[in-house]
C-alpha cells in the first residue's frame, strides 16, 4: 500500500536560502582581524558545521593560536556572529531558493507538516527575514540540541515534537553531515547538490528547482 510521509524536515542554509556567502564574509572579516587569510575554497569545509567547530578550523590555520583559552574563543565566536547578524539584515523574501515556496505550498495542500532542522542559532531570524515562518510547524536550531549533525538529534527532535514516527519523515539536506544525520534517524533522505558529495542520500537532485513532491513521494515508496 502506498504511504505518504507526514513531515518534511528541511535544512536551512543551502536548502531554503544561501546564507553560506554571509557566513563566509563574516568569517573572513574575523580571520583578517586575527591575521589569517581564508578563501571560498576553504569556506566549503565550514558549510553545515557549528560556529565553534568552524572557529577551531580557522584557528588551526595558525599554530600559534592553537592554545587560545576557551573564553577567548567564545569572544571570537561572538564577534563573528556580530558580523554575520549585520550582513543578514539585507536578506529578503527574494532570497528564498527557487522551488522552495512552491514545495511548501504543495506540502500544506497535502497536509504534510513542515519543520526546519538547522545548525544555525540564527535560523528563526533568517526565516522571518525570508517571510516563511507562516508555513513552518516547528524550528529546531542549534539552541535546541546538544549534539550537532551528523548526530541525528536535530532531525529526531523535530519529529518527536510533531509526534511523527521517524520512518514517516523526509529530511532534506545539502551537506554530507546532514544526510548522515537523516539516515541515522531512520528517515528518508533527499540530497540537494552534487551526486559524489551526497552519495549516501536515498534520492538526490542537483538543485532546488528539481524538488518535485510527486517524484519525492514516488521515491519514498520505492524504499
Ligand atoms: P550560526 P545549516 C549552518 O546552517 C551553516 O551551514 C554553517 O555554516 C554555520 O556555521 C552553522 O549553521 C551555525 O550557524 O553561527 O548562525 O549559529 O546548514 O545547518 O542550516
Ligand atoms: Mg546546509
More confident residue, 212 or 1: 212
Which class would CATH give 7-17+95-220? alpha beta
Q: Please tell me the residue having the least CA distance from ligand 1 atom 5.
A: 48
From CA 47, how far away is CA 49, in angstroms rounded? Answer: 6
Residue 179 C-alpha to ligand 2 middle, in angstroms? Answer: 10
DSSP structure class, residue 17: B
DSSP structure class, residue 178: H
Ligand in closest contact with the CA of 12: 1
Per-residue pLDDT, 67? 84
Q: Is the pLDDT of residue 1 over 70?
A: no
Q: Please tell me the residue having the least CA distance from ligand 1 atom 7.
A: 48
The full set of domain ranges for the chain reads 7-17+95-220, 20-88
11 is catalytic: yes
- Name the percent of the chain in helix, strand, coil, to the closest 5: 50, 15, 35
Cell numbers for 19: 546564507
More confident residue, 159 or 21: 159
For ligand 1, what atom is nearest to the CA of residue 174?
A: 18
- The model's pTM is 0.91
Cell numbers for 213: 513532491
* Residue 17, beta-bridge partner list: 13, 96
CATH number belonging to domain 20-88: 1.10.150.240
Q: What band does 212 get if pLDDT is binned at 50, 70 and 90?
A: very high
From CA 31, how far away is CA 24, in angstroms rounded? Answer: 10
Amino acid at each position: 500500500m502506498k504511504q505518504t510521509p507526514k513531515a518534511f524536515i528541511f535544512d536551512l542554509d543551502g536548502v531554503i536560502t544561501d546564507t553560506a556567502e554571509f557566513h563566509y564574509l563574516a568569517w573572513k572579516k574575523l580571520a583578517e582581524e586575527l591575521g589569517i587569510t581564508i578563501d571560498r575554497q576553504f569556506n566549503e569545509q565550514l558549510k553545515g558545521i557549528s560556529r565553534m567547530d568552524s572557529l577551531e578550523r580557522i584557528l588551526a590555520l595558525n599554530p600559534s593560536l592553537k592554545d587560545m583559552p576557551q573564553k577567548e574563543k567564545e569572544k571570537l565566536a561572538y564577534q563573528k556572529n556580530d558580523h554575520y547578524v549585520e550582513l543578514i539584515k539585507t536578506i529578503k523574501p527574494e532570497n528564498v531558493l527557487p522551488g522552495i515556496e512552491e514545495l511548501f505550498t504543495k506540502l500544506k495542500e497535502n497536509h504534510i507538516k513542515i519543520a526546519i532542522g538547522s545548525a544555525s542559532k540564527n535560523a528563526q531570524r533568517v526565516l522571518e527575514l525570508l517571510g516563511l515562518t507562516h508555513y513552518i510547524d516547528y524550528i529546531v536550531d542549534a539552541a535546541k540540541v546538544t549534539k550537532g549533525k551528523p548526530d541525528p538529534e536535530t532531525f529526531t527532535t523535530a519529529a518527536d515534537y510533531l509526534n511523527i514516527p521517524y520512518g514517516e519523515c523526509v529530511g532534506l539536506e545539502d551537506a554530507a553531515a546532514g544526510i548522515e544525520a537523516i539516515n541515522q534517524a531512520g528517515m528518508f533522505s533527499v540530497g540537494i547538490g552534487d551526486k559524489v558529495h551526497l552519495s549516501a542520500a536515498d534520492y538526490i537532485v542537483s538543485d532546488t528547482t528539481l524538488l518535485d513532491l510527486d517524484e519525492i513521494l514516488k521515491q519514498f515508496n520505492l524504499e
